[in-house]
Amino acid sequence: MADAANLGPEGAFGAFGAFGAFTGSGAFGAFGAFGAFGAFGAPGPANPPLISQALITNHDGIAGTWIPVAAGAVDANAEEDTAYLERLSPAVRASIYALELGTHIGFVFEPGADADDQGWGRVFHLETTLANPVPNAKYQGLIAMRRPTQDIFAEQLTLVANYADLRQDRMAEILAQLGTPTEFLRAIAYIEPSRTPYTIELLATAHWLANFVEMRLKYALGCKRPIEYSPQIQPMIWTPSHGTLPSGHATEAFTMARVLWLLLRANAVKPYSKGIWGEMLMRQAARIAINRTVAGVHFPVDSAAGAVLGLTLGRYFVDRCTHAAPSESWEFDGIAYPGDQDFDWRSYFHPNDPAGGTHPEQEQTAWATKDDIGDADANQMMSAPLNWLWGKAADEWKDLVTVVPAIAEDDES
């Protein structure tokens, strides 16, 4: 696994392969390819030489005389057809999703006014509208992030030192959470490879997006890790090579938690509109984030930045999947973060009870603020492959009761 050598992005992508490992089916083993990035398009099942050798002699033995094929004997596939997606291996689809998502993300680093000033990392959604042959394009703000000052990191370091008390208690979780958050989300939602293959694929895709964005931000902001501030932190795991803020684990866990809750509610199946489902998913994401502070590799402010980023990306991802125009842009201003502030997920999201008529909301604080995207183009191009994946995953959560459930109130978040 990539994380064994501390080479993986969050050490996490290699763990997709684990889904193959625990079913033995091998189908999801292909997700392991994510881990190796270079291995996109890797063949699915292996080609054992013995079988290939046999197929060669077998061909010689039975193919007989060549008969040409007439032009009209076979019909062409439809082009740009989502039905085709179903025939593709998950790894191939993953490449398609990557382009659908990745080509619509823009990034700019806007330096601070002078050398001491913190710059802004700005992530954009690329709105495209159909024109031939080149679409019209416009960048809309998605999230902007500015790193905290050194004073704030120095003060945050005391919290990191104090959290070390929990290492014995949390060791098993911390090590298990080196892999994908799916392992912990699956303990809340009934995810299982045979039962919900597309949900796993959807979460993996959301994970990809989170990683794609967070790594660019981490690189731009270049924040030092706790281990670089003090020799007394002594993290209990490898400190990854990338920057500390935003926390990748927080970003990914909150992205996936938000996507998952929206997915669970897609078919208005009874229990999932209860706030407790969102409550538990967010508790889980926060636990994963905090465990990184316990381990000694993250500041609490990293988790806060990651939570804001992840919640934003989760909503954005579902918008992309459901053909909705992204309508919010968020800003995380690290220099407004109080130095002694611990990470509390409830400051960033209220898993209100949709079933009870209150909508879940992403919350604003002094350092995490929202802008509405007022001029979103309702006719912007939508992604059919992402929409196809969403539909497949949502179908896995349809209720199997004979009575049609009452339609729950619509909720947006």
The residues of the shown chain that bind other proteins, judged by CB under 8 A, are 154, 158-159, 161-163, 165-166, 168-169, 274-276, 278-280, 300, 340, 342, 344, 346, 351, 353
121 vs 351 by CB, closer to other proteins:
351
Residues 254, 307 contacting (CB under 8 angstroms): yes
Taking the complex as a whole, how short is the minimal distance between the CB of residue 254 and other proteins, in angstroms? Answer: 16
Spatial separation of the C-alpha atoms in residues 299 and 161, rounded to whole Å:
10
Residue 4 CB, nearest approach to other proteins (Å)? 28
User: Token pair for residue 411?
Assistant: 């909720």
Tokens read off for 378: 């309702």
- At closest approach, how far in Å is the CB of 164 from other proteins? 9
Residue 92 vs 280, nearer CB to other proteins: 280
Could you identify the residue written with the tokens 């979460």? 203
Burial of 36 (0-12, 13-18, 19+ CB in 10 A): middle
- For the CB of residue 381, give the shortest distance to other proteins in the complex, in Å: 38
CB of 346 to other proteins, least distance (A): 6
Question: CA–CA separation, 141 vs 329, rounded Å?
Answer: 6
Q: How far is the CB of 258 from other proteins (least distance, A)?
A: 16
The whole-angstrom separation of Cα 210 and Cα 145 is 15
State in angstroms the smallest separation of the CB of 163 from other proteins: 6
Residue 106 is encoded by which pair of tokens?
């823009």
Residue 107 neighbours by CB under 8 Å, 6+ apart? 121, 122, 123, 124, 216, 220
Q: Mapping DSSP to helix (H, G, I), strand (E, B) and coil, where does residue 156 land?
A: helix
Cβ nearer to other proteins, comparing 119 with 275 = 275
Q: Which residue has the tokens 């601070």?
A: 112
| Region class of 357: left (phi > 0), else alpha (psi between -120 and 50), else beta | left
**Nearer to other proteins among residue 154 and residue 335 (C-beta):** 154
Q: Find the shortest distance in angstroms from Cβ 410 to other proteins.
A: 19
Q: Which of 251, 170, 215 is nearest to 8 (CA)?
A: 215
Which residue lies nearer to other proteins by CB, 39 or 154? 154
Structure tokens at 399: 């209720």
Quick count: other Cβ atoms within 10 Å of Cβ 71?
A: 5
Peptide bond just before 405 cis, omega within 30 deg: no
Residue 58 or 162 having the CB closest to other proteins: 162
